[in-house]
Amino acid sequence: MLEVVLATRNRGKIKEIREYLKDEGIAIYSLNDFPDAPEVKEEGGTFRENALKKARSVAHFTGKLAIADDSGLEVDALGGRPGVLSARFAGENATDDENNEKLLEALEGLSAEKRGASFHCVLALVEPSGQEIVVEEKCRGTIGYQKRGRKGFGYDSLFFFPPLNKTFAELTQEKKNQVSHRGKALTKLREMFKRKAQKGA
């Protein structure tokens, strides 16, 4: 069985990725299974840099295939911020609620037409041998005026997806995976795993 380590301790991301890859015959671990794994500082200027840095570190430490996700919210009216600082928008150890409140304050008074935003996901897959694959996807939406929904994590309760007339936090995991930035990137990654399985990797 193919073994993969997710380069994260974020339980929300772990749940989404495990759910998406559950039928692919893959043994999926996370950094929670490797408490001695070194912390990787996300100091890169792009999602790609951060994802590759995390995946390389975990592949080297565990000796297993590693997947790293670096994702964030890019708000048009804020010039693309918070971007790579999405998890730390309100401070180094900010909670989701604190980040959401800061975002609402930053967009206060803006009309719906000026609240456009994109969720951006980069997935890096790194093998211990050094082989690397990077995929990325985006999902367009708008930022709401108040939080809606209790599912998801991060900015999901503020990210309104017009085609479904709901925020990401109001969607089931299955539906979110069908339309989200991470879901679309995982679709690409899943096809790669299928090809690897067919080759007996």
Domain spanning 2-198: CATH 3.90.950.10: yes
Mean residue pLDDT of the chain comes to 91
DSSP H or E segment with residue 115 = none
Q: Which residue has the tokens 């804020």?
A: 78
The residues annotated as belonging to the active site are 70
Domain boundaries, the chain: 2-198
pLDDT tens-digit profile of 156-191?
Answer: 999 999 999 999 999 998 899 899 999 899 888 888
Omega before 35 within 30 of 0, i.e. cis: no
Indicate the pTM of the whole model.
Answer: 0.86
Residue 59's CB is within 10 A of a number of other CB atoms, namely: 25
What is the distance between the terminal CA atoms of the chain, rounded to a whole angstrom?
9
**High-pLDDT (> 90) share of the chain, %:** 70
The residue among 44 and 51 whose pLDDT is bigger is: 51
DSSP element (H, E) containing 69? strand 65-75
